[in-house]
Amino acid sequence: MKTLLTAAWVATMDGATVREGGVVHEAGKIVAVGAAKALRQAHPDATFEELGDAVLLPGLINAHSHLDLTFAKRPPGPITFTDWVLKLLEQIQREDSDTSGGSIWTGMNDSLVCGVTCIGDVTATPSGVRGVIGLQPRRPRVVSYGEVRAMASRRGLLDERLIAATEPTMSPLTRIGVSPHAPYSIEPQGIRECLAAARRGKLPLTIHLAETSDEGQFLADHRGPLRNLWDAIGGWDDAVPRVEGGPIRYAKALGLLDYERASLAHVNYCDDDELRLLGRGRASVVYCPRTHRYFGHPPHRWRDMLAARINVAIGTDSCASSPDLNLVDDLRLLHEIAPDVPGETIWSMGTSRAAKAVGMEGEIGTITPGKAADFAAFAADCDDPLSAILENGAQRPSRVWVAGESVV
């Protein structure tokens, strides 16, 4: 059924925002975008739906999250990263496996009501999580990154975990990706094999990178808090290669920065030379503002990255480090940090730029004919609706659509 949605504003994120605009969609795809009056004349057979004083945006994209940790409780801060990991592991060990599916469904539903129609989800148990996602009738799109950890005593698990990470899924709204977890949990050969698998299958890839200031020391001499973490969980051996130069130069040497479907989660620590390396590469950066603030990291260089033409997207991370999965609140924090940055630029980090980060820029992220009919509508009755939503800390979308179907 062909449907015409009209609203006071249509923020396409693919050019100018249309005043008194409309979008025609059919069979889950966008057919036309433009002035509402012209679309009504051009598509008289379309079912008409008037949204009134609202701004219609592309569905939001959470470029980095962990749905299976929706159950987790964020420990009171301040807390070090390694202490946080140990407390999270305790929570995971206590979690009843019979309730894990409910946690994932809760995460998906919480995301939808916040306007998120696509989630970049990282999971250490890809088969189980993908099975749960596929059973949920009302769900967002998910780019499911199967996580691979293969360091020290666990290096022998590389092949098994890589196969599991890249196992195809029949779920139509789920895409497969691969995630070599982090420089402190997978060795160079493992990262190379993950990257090779991603290239062969044209899969998106993500890695936690420069998340803490301790990664460089750990890579260089296997000392510091991350080594202490290994000592606490057990399984270390001294055959792990040592690497000089820090995590970003390490990623460059392994080819990660040159893969256009790669996203680098966090990048909380980045000097000027590393910024230039990122700028010469093709990988995206995914900044998680509320998680970043929780750990007390120094100011993130996302504005410098944008100026260097690095694609920067936004993610929530998990409920173990963020209050919830409301991506709009992460965008609001950006607006609080940098009120001089145009609202459209901030929203692009949760739409068009985020689509590129998860390898789906040809399908979602903008309101463009031929792309998926994924939308989020927010009440708006002013001349700058995008900034107004960022300044209203309580506002959530009034309607949400995935593939043309109303889900909220």
Interval 9-31: pLDDT, tens: 999 999 889 999 999 999 999 99
Residues ≥6 apart with Cβ < 8 Å to 153: 234, 235, 236, 237
Eight-state DSSP code of residue 399: E
Shared-domain flag, residues 313 and 401:
no
Residue 119 backbone class (left: φ over 0; alpha: ψ -120 to 50; beta: rest): beta
Please tell me the predicted confidence (pLDDT) of residue 171: 87
Beta strand 18-26 with 3-10 is: antiparallel
Shared-domain flag, residues 341 and 393:
no
Residue 199 lies inside a defined structural domain of this protein: yes
Shared-domain flag, residues 89 and 211:
yes
Shared-domain flag, residues 82 and 190:
yes
Q: What is the mean pLDDT of residues 175-184?
A: 98
Eight-state DSSP code of residue 329: H
Amino acid at the residue 406: S
Shared-domain flag, residues 155 and 264:
yes
Shared-domain flag, residues 293 and 371:
no
Looking up residue 48, the CATH number of its domain turns out to be: 2.30.40.10
Coil, strand or helix: which one is 207? strand
Shared-domain flag, residues 306 and 392:
no
Residue 12 lies inside a defined structural domain of this protein: yes
- Residue 259 to residues 180, 248, 357, Cα–Cα distance (Å): 14, 14, 11
Shared-domain flag, residues 271 and 383:
no
- Shortest CA distance to 331 belongs to which of 397, 260, 257, 275? 397
Residue 362 lies inside a defined structural domain of this protein: no
Backbone phi, then psi, for 173, in 5-degree steps? -100, 5
- Distance, in Å, from the CA atom of 407 to the CA atom of 399, rounded to the nearest integer, reads 8
Looking up residue 146, the CATH number of its domain turns out to be: 3.20.20.140
- Distance, in Å, from the CA atom of 166 to the CA atom of 164, rounded to the nearest integer, reads 6
Checking if the pLDDT of 100 tops 70, the result is no
Q: How far apart are the first and last CA of the chain?
A: 19
Total domain count, the chain: 2
- Residue ranges making up the domain that contains 7: 3-58+367-406
Rg for the chain, CA atoms, rounded: 21
Shared-domain flag, residues 281 and 243:
yes
Asked whether 263 and 199 are in contact (CB, 8 A), the reply is no
How many helices (DSSP H) and strands (DSSP E) are in the chain? 16, 16
Shared-domain flag, residues 315 and 383:
no
Shared-domain flag, residues 255 and 293:
yes
Please tell me the predicted confidence (pLDDT) of residue 195: 98
CA 31 to chain CA mean position, Å: 27
Instruction: Quote the pTM value.
Output: 0.97
Mean pLDDT of the chain: 96
Checking if the pLDDT of 99 tops 60, the result is no
Asked whether 57 and 351 are in contact (CB, 8 A), the reply is yes
Residue 255 backbone class (left: φ over 0; alpha: ψ -120 to 50; beta: rest): left
Residue 377 lies inside a defined structural domain of this protein: yes
Asked whether 327 and 334 are in contact (CB, 8 A), the reply is no
pLDDT single digits (tens) 191-201: 999 999 999 99
pLDDT single digits (tens) 140-179: 999 999 999 999 999 999 999 999 999 998 889 999 999 9
List, in sequence order, the alpha helices (H) in 60-157: 81-94, 100-113, 126-135
Shared-domain flag, residues 68 and 115:
yes
pLDDT single digits (tens) 260-285: 999 999 999 999 999 999 999 999 99
